[in-house]
Amino acid sequence: GHFRLGSGATKCAVCAIGRFQASEAATGCTACDKGQHQPTTAATVCLTCKAGEYQDTSGQAKCQPCSPGWVAAGIGNHFCTECHVGHYAASAGLSSCKQCDADKFAPSRGQSGCAACNFECLAGEYKPSCGNFRNSNTGAIESTAGTCRACASGQYKADDGNARTCEKHRDE
């Protein structure tokens, strides 16, 4: 964590925060790499950013927590990654995203929470989908609030409110 001020020098200087020196008789300090940090002076090593944190600049004193909706898995991260559609990271500094519950949705990337499905459709309308589902063509998780649709001919929904389907008219 110290270095000589020049060749033949008898005094050593201390490495600054964000820098280190591991060998004796060195004439300078080295900046900690991206994904690392060093909060103290006179360091002989750099510390690795932990999961949920990142550092995108070399020579830094501390790592930064990922913002809500973003995560950093593993250690030594240079950047954070957005949570995928249908997933969320509720707070800063998380290492993984959680999938929204079946009756909730997150329609875009980088969400810090999931919205509750609202099935409030008018009489004569229904909402066939809301929440997370796996696209049968791509296999990807998709998330939607859904839209109200009119009941098909020969079907009905008598009241406003929650319904994923319409009922068939009964012959009397």
Task: Report the pLDDT value the prediction gives residue 10, as an integer from 0 to 100.
Answer: 64
Q: What is the pTM (predicted TM-score) of this model?
A: 0.74
Q: With beta carbons less than 8 A apart as the criterion, state whether 95 and 72 touch.
A: yes
- Unique residue bearing structure tokens 């519950």: 101
E strands of 73-130, at which residues? 81-82, 87-88, 98-99, 104-105, 115-116, 125-126
CA distances from 93 to 7, 76, 113 (A): 44, 14, 15
Q: With beta carbons less than 8 A apart as the criterion, state whether 93 and 65 touch.
A: yes
Averaged in consecutive runs of 10 residues, what is the pLDDT profile of the chain (172 residues)?
56 88 82 97 95 98 98 97 94 96 87 86 80 76 79 82 75 56
User: Which of 62, 81, 64 has its CA nearest to residue 73?
Assistant: 81
